[in-house]
Amino acid sequence: MPMNHDAEANARSRVEEIYRSDSRQVLATLIRLLNDFDLAEEGLHEAFAAAMEQWPRDGMPDNPRAWLVSTARFKAIDVIRRRARFDASLVELARELESRTADQEEEDDDEQIDDDRLRLIFTCCHPALSPEVQAAMTLREVCGLTTEEIARAFLTKPATIAQRIVRAKAKIRDARIPYAVPDETELPDRLDAVLRVLYLVFNEGYSASSGGMVTRHDLSMEAIRLGRLLITLLPQPEAMGLLALMLLQDSRRAARASPNGELILLEDQDRSLWNREQITEGLVLVRQAFSQGQIGPYTIQAAIAAVHAQAPNAAVTDWDQIVRLYTFLSQAEPSPVVDLNRAVAVAMRDGPSSGLALIDAILEKGNLSGYHLAHAARADLCRRLGRTEEARASYQRALSLTQQEPERRFLERRLASLQD
């Protein structure tokens, strides 16, 4: 019996919703079953096209994700069979895929499927791939960002990102890089790359590099979920520190934008909206990481976030402790962005003149000349000092560099307030 119009529209909407929430999980499982990135992606897209056609007509399956995996597997094998008409060597591959994947699919349970994305991350972060390729592969394959979105995040061209991803897939295939979590002897050495990529994924979710939203909740929550999986596998201090950092930062999500999507700075946020459960969990993890005595950059950043989380309001924030932690962080992992954040903390502790001198010194070196937040920070300190023309020039420079619409509107409002 055919669906009515409303039911059909609801089914189509549900397919789109599942694509947003589950497509990367389905892809990760397909890569395990098919052992081929491109074939898995082709099967994935054909399965969702079939769902868009069949679910509105026949109704939703009881287990949509399992239906998509099974359908995509058959679609991918059909692709190989079609190609086998022109290449006889593919006939055996089609038979082998059908037999092997059927056995594996029958053995799958929810835990096996949930672990697939962790396997995929370790594959994308294999040491045979360069760091920039590891990040691009993870953002594309694990998180589903487009090449354009990744290019904006890395301040490079989409064609460059696309080329990196194509070459990486070829290297994974030709070098037979295993689709697996490393064993206990290899795991510690492989952890740094995975933590770095999880951090990049979370940051793209926490503060989207472009588009109309301040945050991308799907990415930040995926990074947190994978962080939890990682510390069950390897409860190492920096893994705990990174998970703590992500939880503490994400705890502010509901307060970081107004109901109509406008950016709200930390000092102006309604702290009653902060997620206390995430803060509690994050504080426990910070203490656990510090107690193990191996303090790395993620744990230090988590400690900074913990200071903010424990301040009942912005006025009583312990800026002296935050400056000391940033000094510690700059020694552990020197970076112009860390120096910028320390300069902002110094401005909050010692006054805008002290912070501005530090930011000007950073900008003179040229390292952050293309970083919009450096110019926005300078503009704010000039505004507070009454140096209106300098503030206006720095806001305009920041505006020319930002790709995120809420940030753009915020900077425009600040610029307009100077004119008023």
Identify the CA nearest to 158 among candidates 147, 168, 146, 145: 147
Q: Which residues lie closer than 8 Å to 344 by C-beta, 6 or more apart?
A: 355, 359, 377
Q: How many other β-carbons are positioned within 10 Å of the β-carbon of residue 265? A: 10
Amino acid letter for position 52 = M
**Which contacts of 149-155 are long-range, i.e. CB under 8 A and separated by 24 or more positions?**
149/204, 149/209, 149/210, 152/209, 152/210, 152/403, 153/200, 153/204, 153/209, 155/370
Pairwise CA distance, residues 309 & 311, whole Å: 6
- DSSP-assigned states of every residue in 242-272: HHHHHHHHHTTGGGSB-TT--B--GGGS-GG
The DSSP bridge partners found for residue 211 are 404
Reading the chain (420 residues) residue by residue, the pLDDT tens digits are 455 666 677 878 888 899 988 888 899 988 888 888 888 899 999 999 999 999 888 888 888 988 999 899 888 888 777 766 655 555 555 565 555 555 555 555 555 555 788 888 889 989 899 988 998 898 888 888 888 888 876 768 899 999 999 999 999 988 888 888 888 778 777 888 889 888 888 887 787 655 555 567 777 888 898 899 888 877 899 999 999 999 999 999 999 988 888 889 999 999 999 999 999 999 999 999 999 888 899 999 999 999 999 999 999 999 999 999 999 999 999 999 999 999 999 999 999 999 999 999 999 998 899 999 999 999 999 999 999 999 999 999 999 998 778 889 999 999 999 875
Cα distance between residue 169 and residue 289, in whole Å? 35
Structure tokens at 326: 């940033």
Token reading at 107: 């053995």
Our measurement of the distance from residue 316's CA atom to the centroid of its chain's CA atoms, rounded to an integer in Å, reads 31
**Prediction pTM value:** 0.75
Query: How far from 352 is each of 329, 343, 359, CA to CA, in Å?
Result: 22, 9, 10
Residue with tokens 């490393």: 182
Q: Taking a C-beta distance cutoff of 8 angstroms, is the pair 123, 172 a contact?
A: yes
Q: Does residue 161 come out as left (phi exceeding 0), alpha (psi in the -120 to 50 range) or beta?
A: alpha
Residues 6 or more apart from 253 whose CB is under 8 A from it?
A: 206, 215, 217, 220, 275
Domain boundaries, the chain: 1-108
- What per-residue string of b and e applies to 290-329 under the rule 16 or more CB within 10 Å gives b? beeeebbbbbbbbbbbbbbbeeeeeeebebeebbebbeeb
